[in-house]
Chains A and B, each alone.
Chain A
Amino acid sequence: MTNVVVSDGADAVAPARMSPRDLAAEAVAGIFARPGRTVLTVLGTVLGIGALVATLGVAKTAGNQIVGRFDELAATSVVVTNERGFFFGGGDVRIQIPSDAEDRLLRLNGVTAVGAMGPVDVGGALVRSVPIPDPLAQTEFQMSVYGATPGLLGATRGALSTGRWFDWGHSERADRVAVLGTGSAQRLNVTRVDQQPVVFIGDEAFVVIGILDSVRRQPELLNAVILPEGTAREVYGYMSAATVQIEVEIGAASLIAEQASIALSPDEPSLLRVQKPPEPADLRRDVEGDVNALFLVLGGVSLLVGAIGIANVTLVSVLERVGEIGLRRALGAARRHVAGQFLMESTAMGLVGGIIGASMGVLLVVAISATRTWTPVLDPWVPLTAPLVGAMTGLVAGLYPALRAASLEPVEALRSG
């Protein structure tokens, strides 16, 4: 018997080919064959990706917002105290804060205001505003008395309702003057200072020169009698301030916190305790970390559920389309073409879910920010990466169904379809 090759040589046995464009077209057609089911399938990925994007966005936005709020007051405040509690297992060791604390600290670059203050031991003397006790009303009060430096008003961002704050002149001359906090002025019935009212601490008289209306820091001053440091030293033997309130420029807090204790106590800086605000960067990281850890897990779980949904639907779709798979094999599709088509379908579903989810996540961040009047902040890579994550989810979810589809024998598939 003679065999003559009538077909055209090597091309006759060329393997099956399918262009990527045809593959994509077949995958899209497969998705749109059952639009309702596709929408439900994609929903899982939409929720997962949406949750992830919204979580990252809200965390970033909230982190920025909190830092913005702290900047106002706390981030500019450094407080130095000499309270060290028990030391060497024994007595209460305190070191003195020098009386020129203001000069020493104002020299530091970044310090805008300094004030020192400390409780004055008045030996239990009561405070009254009239020299003669009235038997019908309480006129004597136990009040805290503070010695303060002139800079304290600025350093606490205090405001006077009337009169004036004392200056270095009052302090150095040890003038018998006092400023009342608004609470103590009320109890002592002092409302105006233009007639130079006098308060008595025990038997010592002080002329009230001003009433402190409000402070943003060290609020205990509002219920106290405040004396110039020099006056307190002269009359009561006041030794040293206990607290130094420093106001710094934004961003200088960490630096000043390191320098302040050395400036105040060069020989033993470790005996001073310095309170500084948390670093903005640390704070933002903490907030983002807290929010992220919780919600990223939730987002990841929804994404996993979405992936299982895609895997499930794609598998059902493969089982339903056994006949179609057999037909495609008969028409010349190789196994990899069948696998490619189902992989492409699941990947496209994941991609579409990722795009919709990213969009909804961004909208959610904007909506949440709008209700709180926050500025929405989102890393640009988040909405750009999200669709890719969705596509990857679809790809992974489609692996098993695609392998099942490719492993079908065409003869069996055609018979059962």
Chain B
Amino acid sequence: MTVEAPVVELREVSRTFAAGDVSVPALRDASMSIDRGEYVAVIGPSGSGKSTMLNLIGLLDRPTSGSYILEGIDTSTLNEGQRAGLRSRRIGFVFQSFHLLAHRSVIENVLLSTIYNGMARPDRVPAAEAALVEVGLAHRMDFLPTKLSGGERQRVAIARALVTRPAILLADEPTGNLDSATGGAVLDLFDELRAQGLTLVVVTHDTEVSEHADRAIHLRDGRIEVES
């Protein structure tokens, strides 16, 4: 019988930034793991290393020391091309500022994920439509993002992250640019996704957001303080 490995496992991971002659540690000896299907909030004051941890988990950045194992693969042994390949297949990102392309329709924005992912061409549009149905935007597929409300835009971004069926969804302050009503709708959507078995990591400083999560990782000055 096989033991299900954690989706994410950090082993004494540190990340130090060099600012001139001074080196600033953003994350120090962080060790933690996230199991499949878990909904984890990463919270802490600004400058505590939340975004650095998310960038490391999302393979956008490399740790200065320590190792990061994603679905059993030691990512420190991978080159840039392989890391990009893993990002395209296994990781979905949701950003505070949405990062939608203003000149492309909703469905074209969602399809953007599929071109780097190696998805077969005939499968792409059905997958994008399914993702948009999932986030409740079936009626907005041909709209430009500029015609949508903030909450709708963030749901387009979530559909873009979901279309490739990633192992883990990483959200960086997903409600930061939204009012409490539309932000609440996004959090309800996360709850639904979690109920379907998706692994979620949400970085936030909003306690309302972290209450939705199974557990929270508290960061302060680059160290994991409490896991609750």
Contact = CB atoms under 8 A, between A and B. Distances in A.
Interface in A6-36: 6-7, 12-19, 22, 25-26, 29, 33-34
Interface of B: 2-5, 9, 55, 58, 60-61, 69, 71-73, 78-82, 84-90, 93, 95, 97, 99, 101, 103-104, 108, 112-113, 115-118, 160
A14 to B, nearest CB: 5
Contacts of B117: 331-332
Interface stretch (A139-147, A219-227, A333-341, A379-387): A333-341
Given A13-B82, A14-B82, A333-B116, A6 B93 contact: no
Given A22-B115, A326-B99, A337-B116, A331 B80 contact: no
A417 interface: yes
Given A330-B58, A414-B95, A417-B99, A15 B81 contact: yes
B84 A334 contact: yes
A353 to B, nearest CB: 22
Interface string A376-416: 00000000000000000000000000000000001100100
A323 interface: yes
B224 to A, nearest CB: 17
Contacts of A34: 103
Contacts of A334: 80-81, 84
A18 B159 CA distance: 21
A138 interface: no
A5 B73 contact: yes
B72 A414 contact: no
Interface in A119-159: none
**Size category, A interface:** 35 or more
A173 B154 CA distance: 117
B103 A33 contact: yes
A15 B82 contact: yes
Contacts of B85: 13-17, 332
A327 B87 CA distance: 11
Interface of A: 1-7, 12-19, 22, 25-26, 29, 33-34, 323-324, 326-335, 337, 410-411, 414, 417
A14 B73 CA distance: 12
Contacts of B2: 4
Nearest to A14: B85
A4 B6 CA distance: 9
B81 A3 contact: no
B95 to A, nearest CB: 7
- 8 shortest A-B CB distances, which residue pairs? A332-B88, A15-B81, A16-B84, A332-B116, A33-B103, A5-B72, A22-B115, A16-B85
Contacts of B112: 327-328, 331
Contacts of B90: 7
Contacts of B87: 16, 329-332
Given A6-B4, A331-B117, 17 more contacts: A2-B3, A3-B9, A3-B72, A4-B4, A4-B72, A7-B90, A13-B82, A13-B85, A16-B84, A16-B88, A17-B118, A34-B103, A327-B99, A328-B112, A332-B85, A332-B87, A334-B80
Contacts of B103: 29, 33-34
Given A3-B5, A330-B87, A330-B93, A26 B115 contact: yes
